[in-house]
Amino acid sequence: MDGYTLIVTEKPDAAKRIASALDKNGKAKRALANGVPYYEAYRSGRIVVVPALGHLYTVSAAAREKGRKRYPIYDYEWVPRYKAEKKASRIKVWLQTITQLSKGADVFVDACDYDIEGSIIGYCILKYACGGREKEAKRMKYSTLTTEELEKAYASLLPHLDFALVEAGLARHEVDWLYGINLSRALTTATKNYSKQYATLSTGRVQGPTLQFLVAQEKRIASFEPTPYWLIKAKIQIGEELFEAEHEKGTIQSKDEAEAIMFNCKGRARKGKIEHVENEEHTQMPPPPFDLGALQTEAYRLFRCTPMRTSSITQRLYLDALISYPRTSSQKLPSSIGYQKILENLARNPEFTRHAEELLSKDHLKPTEGKKFDPAHPAIYPTGKLPQKKLVGLERNVYNLIVKRFLAVFGEPALRQTVKVVVNLQGEKFLLNGRRTLKEGWIHFYEGYARIKDTPLPPVNEGQEVAVRKVALTDKFTQPPPRYDYGSLLRKMEQCNIGTKATRAGITQTLYDRKYVQGEKMVVTDLGSQVTDVLSKFCPSVVSAEFTRRLEEKMSLVQSGQETKQKIIAEAIEILEPVMASLEENERAVGEQLSGAIQQANLEERIVGACPTCQDGKVIIQHSKKTGKRFVGCTNYFNGTCKTAFPLPQSGYVKPSDKTCRSCGWSTVLVWLKRKRPWNLCLNPQCPTKTKKKTAKKKKTLTK
């Protein structure tokens, strides 16, 4: 196999598509070496395409630091993942296979995704697994895995890797490792030394400020003092319909003033006169194409699909060549992607035929674009390729959303009309507001997803009398600011320029995994609050969004060649040194504060619900000291006032459920058995569902 081209890809699916696209007959041969798949193709010469499994190398403590749990630690190196992660043993064989395949190659091509992460993956493989071939390797750049684009990318290979992009990626990973390993180790060690029990705690350069956003919001909510206000609304009849009008003052701060207005509106046969009618028309431009952050936010708003889930789905759609590369921050759609051809292909899908053909009938196709630009990739768009398998569930929803957004950006501006009507009722003015769409434009293509609501009013004239059926005064209180959810937190991170399009979703998920937040509306747990409090007290820079933003900007300068990786790393260590000294000096105080929060978090994780017997205790999942068996028992058992206990399955995984039994209303637990879906187990031994099962089982036995 001497004298072939070796192409390195990021994932096995990408390797298969690239090999098939480059083979002159479109039929690449799949082969195995040590259980690792690779592909052989022929195109004026032999081509071997071998995939990675994402990152095969990672940052780790230098060899001389191995086995030492101390901190701080600033000595590190890039190593194969299997040397740093216990669950990555498969990587060893994978790397051995790539090394073996590289020995017969004379041309090397990096075909990993063209972004920071893909560039690091390819660079590390070429440098370490292929014997230092990173400097001679060529770069294959593409935004979709369609055959046409892959052929074009291979025909116009970039002469070398984008070393500035690689340097920026290495700098980011190394800085994040320095912050993550040192800060997390400091928190974990302090807790373990104080409580003598191990618990995984983590924070980092981006995770710290992100959690701080949530904690600050919790404090605003906790300190919020509601103030009363009053609303006055009138039911006004126009023709046969009733419409709700609000007093022109809107929220009224004084009860006396509100009652005075109500007094003025008294009278049985109340007639109002339309004093003023104002019509205004305005155009509403189509939305810009999706970048990853906007897609994640929109998918969460529409389908409650978490950012991590959306990332996973878009990656699958990309590998199936259904959409372009999703990890982009661009809102631009260059004409080079071929608008007409994509629409022609989409027209073959019955679901989009009508809308695609409408756009194809236009004289000129010009998309609406946003301000954001990503030099690596355009905005997310559908390739037009028909799905090879039926898309279902969230995968179908996300794909349809991407297609409809793409169609919408070619639509005409929508024309909307707002109508403001002032009704005079015995000297008091009430406002009626109506909205309607005069011309759908782009809304027609984005149907079901556009945030457009029509509230039309019938035609009215100034001086016209209308019947006022009811005037009502309601007292209300101002509401605290809302908690963050997935969508609003992503927007906040993007606004503050912390994290990247590829990492923000993962950081949000880590907050849940570490039990720092819970619930769809992100409620900060006591543990999350205490971690932030410790960091704010002893090293405030770690939770500063401004500090993290400045560091992000400096790392971006590496990509443009205005900064060096070495300088960034040196500055990061210089900032970390006093932080780590402060945490080490206050280790006991840190451990004491966090240990209590961890104990409380562990207890809360085991609470199933209120005790049905004593009412003031909680039933929690416990293990018997004598037998080791698990059961659910009341917390008042320990003070001798309640002996309530219920058995649990001894195999599988059990955790509290947030649902109550539909039949009896008792608390339930979720039970997972191997290879089976979780099911809700009611704790009530007399639950009607259990009685029915026992009866059915008894009848079955008697029948036998």
The catalytic site residues sit at 325
**Summary count for the chain: helices (H), strands (E):** 20, 23
Distance CA 333, CA 287 (A): 13
Alpha carbon of residue 82 to chain centroid: 28
Measured at the alpha carbon of residue 295, what is the angle toward residues 56 and 454, in degrees to the nearest 5?
170
Whole-angstrom Cα Rg for the chain: 31
User: What does DSSP assign to residue 125?
Assistant: I
Q: What is the dihedral of CA 348, 350, 352, 357, to 10 degrees?
A: 60
Contact 382, 301 (CB under 8 A): no
Q: Quick one: DSSP state of residue 151?
A: H
**Of 593, 584, 633, 627, the residue nearest 613 (C-alpha):** 633
Residues 181, 537: Cα–Cα separation, whole Å? 20
DSSP string, 220-287: HHHT----EEEEEEEEEEETTEEEEEEETT-SB--HHHHHHHHHHT--SS-EEEEEEEEEEEEEEPPP
The torsion of the CA quartet 333, 338, 343, 346, rounded to 10 degrees, works out to -90
Distance CA 261, CA 595 (A): 58
Backbone phi, then psi, for 428, in 5-degree steps?
Answer: -100, 135
- Output the CA–CA distances (angstroms, integers) from residue 183 to 64, 177, 381, 582, in the order listed: 20, 10, 40, 11
In whole angstroms, what is the distance from residue 410 CA to residue 415 CA?
A: 15
**Which ranges in 501-564 belong to alpha helices (H)?**
504-513, 526-538, 545-559
End-to-end CA distance of the chain: 68
